[in-house]
Structure 1
Amino acid sequence: MDSAERAADGGGDRYRPGYELVAERLLQHIAEQGLHPGDRLPTEQGLAELLGTTRNQMREAVKVLAAIGRLSVRRGAGIFVAAADRTLADEELAHFQPTDMAHVSMLLDFRRLIEAETARRAASLATPIQVRKIRESAEESLRLGTANEVRGFARADQQFHDAVAIAADNIFLQSNVANIRRFAAQTDTLLFHGDVPGSLEVAGRQHVAVAEAIAEGDPDRAVQLMTAHIDTTQRQFERKIRNRMFTQGPQQ
């Protein structure tokens, strides 16, 4: 049993795959060492020895971190800290920990603030064409959510939130909404592995309610409904984590 698996034997980590723990520790190591985009890391074996795990666990951790854009693996050259794109330029955000519940809670809190404001502004500023786009994407998300079509819902969900951000008529709000979704996708990939944290139908119905408030030009109602939507997302997320803790035993 390696150290990641030993850690998984106790506390809240017992329900988490070993490679997930190793991925988190590798991100922490990068942050603690002050490494920057383009910096080269040791080999998989070297990293495994450094962090006290097996090469197989490290290989899986490197794969998933490369898949979400945190590492770059170049054949024949080695493993590197991935070059930050414009959305990860801030040094603190570059060290976001997708499986750290404190970081995830901060992300949801930030999302609540940003998307409530986009809803408020959209209700005041949206053009008829923008209102139609918001409504159409909300209704599509409800249709796909009711059918539990996960991939289709994810596209409609993105289109809805993007449409609200566009209607807010502020490129910085729009950029932040896109940035939040990129970070959230990292968490979804590492923690849920393609699963969803809660009811897609509930989320779709909330989209439709927000869209109607925007169409009616009611900023206060739009803020209230968007905030409730993010609150529901957070509760579903936390419930999903608790369910994983109670239904999965230690990883072997």
Structure 2
Amino acid sequence: MSTDGGAYRPGYEVAAERILELIERLNLHAGDRLPTEIDLAQQLDTSRSVVREAIKILSALGRVTAHKGRGLYVADGTSMLGGARQPTFYLPTNLEHVDRLFEFRKLIDVEASRLASTRATPLQLKDMREAVADCVGAFEAGDFEAYGRADDRFHESVAAAAQNPFLSEAVAQCRHAQRQTARLGLPTYLAANYDLANKEHAAILAAIQAGDADRAGQAARNHIERTEAEYRREIMTRLSQSGQGKTRE
């Protein structure tokens, strides 16, 4: 186990970070072979079971590929702006990483909403309205996979309406990082708050349609800050349960 500022962190999370650091330090690229689980356990001074859990996380995040009978390999990751390598790594269970992701989201989503309020075309406004309606429909049907797709469509349509391709790409990459949480069992929104997210989407849309940049930016900020608070609460709950239910490595 490890502590970060006094807070318990599972051994598999620390191991996952250290494997990524090893990839960076050795300058490994997509397709390069990694040490075996046993070798990694020795290098990281931890157990093979912890390394195995770390590999599961990295596989879910698309950073490592495990080929049965052949070993572990660096996966074909891409950077936020389409480069061959990722300059940073993101673990959805790491509170510091979550903080940094949402810090960036507040910069780009708020600005995208502000710009969209002055640049959106009628067709783009229609796309936003349809995405908001799809979110409501998916929530009422209890289809949360469809909700995730509609949620992505709404945020990406707002970014598209900002008429800045670099901003659109950054928003899409942040959405991709946030979607990775679902692979680790962390929902995009907590069950009780999908309806609240729908209301926040509607508030962002209304401000954009009204051409009110300040209101659009504030509505986007409110939405992101509430979502971030949910993530933090859920992760802290899971870390607490992990600390109580497992022997700390």
- TM-score band w.r.t. shorter chain: 0.7 to 0.9
Tell me, yes or no, if structure 1 residue 234 matches structure 2 residue 228.
Answer: yes
Partners of 2:74 and 2:224 lie apart in 1 by: 32
**Aligned equivalent of 1:63, options 38, 56, 63:** 56
In structure 2, give the amino acid aligned to 1:73: A
- Report the CA distance between 1:247 and its aligned residue: 4.8
1:168-204 per-residue CA deviation (whole Å, 9 max, x = no partner) reads: 11111110001111222334534xx143453211111
Partners of 2:87 and 2:225 lie apart in 1 by: 23
Q: Which residue of 1 aligns with 2:119?
A: 125
1:31-59 per-residue CA deviation (whole Å, 9 max, x = no partner) reads: 45554444321111111222223323322
1:196-237 per-residue CA deviation (whole Å, 9 max, x = no partner) reads: 453211111101111111122222211110111111111111
- Report the CA distance between 1:246 and its aligned residue: 4.5
Tell me, yes or no, if structure 1 residue 137 matches structure 2 residue 128.
Answer: no
Q: Which residue of 1 aligns with 2:23?
A: 30
Residues 93/99 of structure 1: CA separation in 2 closer, same or farther (3 Å cut): farther
1:110-135 per-residue CA deviation (whole Å, 9 max, x = no partner) reads: 11110111111111111112111101
Where 1:72 maps in the other structure, the secondary structure is strand
Asked if structure 2 preserves the Cα contact closer than 8 Å seen for 1:31 and 1:95, the reply is no
Tell me, yes or no, if structure 1 residue 225 matches structure 2 residue 196.
Answer: no
Partners of 1:96 and 1:195 lie apart in 2 by: 16
In structure 1, give the amino acid aligned to 2:34: L
- Report the CA distance between 1:166 and its aligned residue: 1.3
Partners of 1:132 and 1:106 lie apart in 2 by: 32
Tell me, yes or no, if structure 1 residue 250 matches structure 2 residue 245.
Answer: yes
- Number of residue pairs matched? 242
In structure 2, give the amino acid aligned to 1:120: R
Q: Which residue of 2 aligns with 1:73?
A: 66
- Report the CA distance between 1:91 and its aligned residue: 6.0
Where 1:13 maps in the other structure, the secondary structure is strand
Q: How does 1:74-89 map to 2 (within 5 A)?
A: 74-75=67-68, 77-87=70-80, 89=83
Partners of 1:205 and 1:121 lie apart in 2 by: 21
Q: Which residue of 2 aligns with 1:108?
A: 102
Partners of 1:41 and 1:131 lie apart in 2 by: 47
Asked if structure 2 preserves the Cα contact closer than 8 Å seen for 1:148 and 1:200, the reply is no
Q: Which consecutive unaligned segments of at least 5 residues does structure 1 have?
A: none
My pick for the range that moved more, 133-142 or 153-162, is 133-142
Partners of 1:150 and 1:12 lie apart in 2 by: 32
Partners of 1:60 and 1:102 lie apart in 2 by: 20
- Report the CA distance between 1:77 and its aligned residue: 4.2
Partners of 2:62 and 2:212 lie apart in 1 by: 39
- Report the CA distance between 1:99 and its aligned residue: 3.4
Q: How does 1:187-198 map to 2 (within 5 A)?
A: 187-190=181-184, 193-198=185-190
Where 1:95 maps in the other structure, the secondary structure is coil
Partners of 1:93 and 1:188 lie apart in 2 by: 23
State the identity as a percent: 37
Asked if structure 1 preserves the Cα contact closer than 8 Å seen for 2:179 and 2:188, the reply is no
- Report the CA distance between 1:238 and its aligned residue: 1.6
What RMSD in Å do the two structures reach over aligned CA positions? 2.7
Residues 143/60 of structure 1: CA separation in 2 closer, same or farther (3 Å cut): same
**Aligned equivalent of 1:95, options 60, 72, 89:** 89
